[in-house]
Structure 1
Amino acid sequence: MFRMPPEWAPHERTWMAWPGPNATFTGDDLAESRLAWASVARAVRRFEPVTMVVGRGQAAGARALLGPDIELVERDLDDAWMRDIGPTFVTDGTELAAVDWVFNGWGGQDWATWEHDSKIARHVADLADVPVHSSALVNEGGAIHVDGEGTVLLTDTVQLGAGRNPGWTREQVEAEIHARLGTEKAIWLPHGLTGDYGMFGTQGHVDIVAAFARPGVVLVHSQQDPAHPDYERSRVYADILRGQADARGRSLEVVEVPAPTVLKDEEGDWVDYSYINHYLCNGAVVLCAFDDPNDEVAAGIFGRLFPDRTVTPVDARTIFAGGGGIHCITQQQPKV
């Protein structure tokens, strides 16, 4: 049986996609985003190999920012969120395979294009030389989080959203998720963070809200300021998770991670800055940083939870301005 290993299991490498000119990245934003993506790639490369998929004709510019030790491959791209456009790798213990979800621009949003990105999962599977398991479910890698022992986190407004899977029931979604990931129990959260429903939001990805740290232990975003609408939302998430048992019957231990203190961006919109959107690679936690007093608080929490990993903060504000975080731009290939 194939299953998705947890993110803390050993990796063969990390896959990323290079920002190119599109609706998300224009003008100065594109240059700043490339610097931000390069910072994440170099941070991960200290601990494991990184392959960056770059748009046609963009390899030279990418190489100048990435350095010599990150592998580059050219493929047609629309956007740069490898967690969502890339495959979800699964293994049966001896062989690796790649789940190819249907990708439709985060629910067919009017600014998005996905002619090329909808094919990236298969390109990556081909480059990794692994077979493809095709799914009929519209889904993205940022919309799932597993504990490696049968439990998966999902959100109502993603898998059950009208823009992704109209007509699918909760039972049908769970059956497909379990068949592809080797999971047995789904824990549903009702929605994502408020800022994730803005123009470039995902409409509720779970990887900015909650993430397993190990079996039986789940991290959850905790907005501390009552002025922010996520103050109430984050309490809903914590209450739901505290009332759940995982697939093995363990009552979940919930670790609340305080949100950064900033509440709004320069345009006056609520931010969804979150430390939950971290990335675990071999020997490290690559942690979102925001030049915020709570950066140190979050680093301490992650340091205690992952004492054998190096906590590596990387400024994620530019990435969040584009609609995601560090987890959203990385995708692990497990070691078999």
Structure 2
Amino acid sequence: MKLENTPSKDKFYMPAEFSTHEGTVMIWPVRPGSWPYEGKEAKQAFAQIARAIADSEKVWMLADEEHISEVQSEFNTDVNIIPLQINTDDAWARDVGPTCVVNGSVVRGIDWCFNAWGGDFDGLYAHWDNDDKAARIICDALNMDVYDAHPFVLEGGSIHADGEGTVIVTESCLLSKGRNPDLSKQEIEDKLKEYLGAKKVIWLPSGIYNDETNEHVDNICAFVKPAEVVLAWTDDESDPQYAMSKANLDVLEKETDAKGRNFIVHKLPIPKAPVCITAEELEGYEFEEGEDVREVGERLAASYVNFYISNGGVIVPQFGDENDCVAVEILTKLFPERKIYPIYARAIIVGGGNIHCITQQIPKGEEVCEMLQ
């Protein structure tokens, strides 16, 4: 059911990713302009991630009519992975799916306006109608009431919450001209508070260098518990990421969260060697008119911060880099109660995204839990 109020007025709020949730939504990767060579390697990575998540919760794997049988065949013995036929334009579940809010017992979804990360100004592909409709359809399929936030443009990967009133975003993304250019920074912040039940919004200046989402926060900074975050970092002052991460650290060291607590910041290194598109990978793409085109040698926005927290684990991207093990070691210490799943994620970042943005959690609530058992 479409709701007329806003979450804040109904006393709903966005929970933290580390809170218990009912399951995770993913979308099968098939778009030729995102996934080279018919997504063969990407599908293998998605399947690994889905099975890691399914060790401790449900996974709904979306696909269109043409590819739903492929999903059914891939996961026919995985009882916790549920195929769901819903059309989308690409596979970024975090960005196109509903942002879920809770009040302790009930879960509801928010349907933001999606315009492919910038619309006609600097969007990444020309047609996004199916993606924009996906959040509402997912809510209907999972029996969740939905708040319609249109025409406000927002992607799930551009917000990160602690579940206690604090939301972190980046200025580079939320103030980009392709999203809500007619709104001031304060008006955007007010909208976030109204829909996410937030009391305080922390504005970081930027995200990961060359991130084509206009630098989503989920690639640069994430909560691991209230008042405690990881921040993508490099000590190499010649790397353009250094100045970006340092500016973010300066903000975090001066700010407090919604409850007045200082932040504990854990530096999570980026890969030592830049991850770049190869000529072989470029040959496997099939770009359509109006779609963002990649180039050989293009630096990709590789970051270990885009891990995903499942009920029982933490799925950590790996890039074949010497810092892979460093990231796993740091996150193992930060999540001692969860199993760490290191998964080689080059095929996902070659698609233009990260592990975090291919997943969207559905928080646990008594009403949703009863419906979906």
Task: Output the TM-score relative to the length of structure 1.
Answer: 0.95
RMSD over aligned Cα, in angstroms?
A: 1.4
Give me the whole-angstrom Cα distance separating, in 1, the residues matched to 2:275 and 2:54: 32
Task: Output the TM-score relative to the length of structure 2.
Answer: 0.86
1:304 is matched by which residue type in structure 2?
K
Residue 203 of structure 1: CA displacement? 1.1
* Contact 2:206–2:248 (CA under 8 A) maintained in structure 1: no
Give me the whole-angstrom Cα distance separating, in 2, the residues matched to 1:83 and 1:332: 8
Residue 112 of structure 1: CA displacement? 4.1
SS of residue in 2 equivalent to 1:50: strand
* Contact 1:4–1:148 (CA under 8 A) maintained in structure 2: yes
* C-alpha distance after superposition, 1:135-160 (max 9, x if no partner): 13200000000011111011112222
Give me the whole-angstrom Cα distance separating, in 2, the residues matched to 1:5 and 1:167: 29
- Within the candidate set 224, 232, 252, 1:241 is matched to 252
* C-alpha distance after superposition, 1:54-113 (max 9, x if no partner): 011212222333343211011211100000000001011121110111101111115342
Instruction: Look up the match of 2:194.
Output: 179
Is 1:45–2:90 an aligned residue pair? Answer: no
Comparing 322-331 with 57-66, greater Cα deviation is found at 57-66
2:164 is matched by which residue type in structure 1?
E
* Contact 1:15–1:82 (CA under 8 A) maintained in structure 2: yes
Instruction: Look up the match of 1:313.
Output: 342
Is 1:116–2:126 an aligned residue pair? Answer: no
Residue 293 of structure 1: CA displacement? 1.6
Give me the whole-angstrom Cα distance separating, in 1, the residues matched to 2:309 and 2:31: 28
Instruction: Look up the match of 1:95.
Output: 106
Is 1:331–2:360 an aligned residue pair? Answer: yes
Give me the whole-angstrom Cα distance separating, in 2, the residues matched to 1:134 and 1:111: 23
The gaps in structure 1 that reach 5 residues or longer are none
Instruction: Look up the match of 2:284.
Output: none
Instruction: Look up the match of 2:160.
Output: 145
Give me the whole-angstrom Cα distance separating, in 2, the residues matched to 1:170 and 1:279: 29
Instruction: Look up the match of 1:6.
Output: 16
Instruction: Look up the match of 2:25.
Output: 15
* Contact 2:55–2:312 (CA under 8 A) maintained in structure 1: no
- Within the candidate set 158, 161, 167, 2:176 is matched to 161
Higher relative contact order (CA 8 A, sep 6+): 2
Instruction: Look up the match of 1:131.
Output: 145
* Contact 1:41–1:66 (CA under 8 A) maintained in structure 2: no
The gaps in structure 2 that reach 5 residues or longer are 1-10, 279-295, 366-373
* Contact 1:22–1:78 (CA under 8 A) maintained in structure 2: no
Instruction: Look up the match of 1:271.
Output: 300
Residue 264 of structure 1: CA displacement? 4.2
Comparing 186-195 with 305-314, greater Cα deviation is found at 186-195
Give me the whole-angstrom Cα distance separating, in 2, the residues matched to 1:264 and 1:93: 41
* C-alpha distance after superposition, 1:190-214 (max 9, x if no partner): 2221220xxxx21110000000111
Instruction: Look up the match of 1:75.
Output: 86
Instruction: Look up the match of 2:328.
Output: 299
Give me the whole-angstrom Cα distance separating, in 2, the residues matched to 1:34 and 1:94: 35
Aligned positions, number: 331
Structure number with greater Rg is: 2
SS of residue in 1 equivalent to 2:331: helix
- Share of identical aligned residues, percent? 40
Instruction: Look up the match of 1:285.
Output: 314
2:154 is matched by which residue type in structure 1?
N
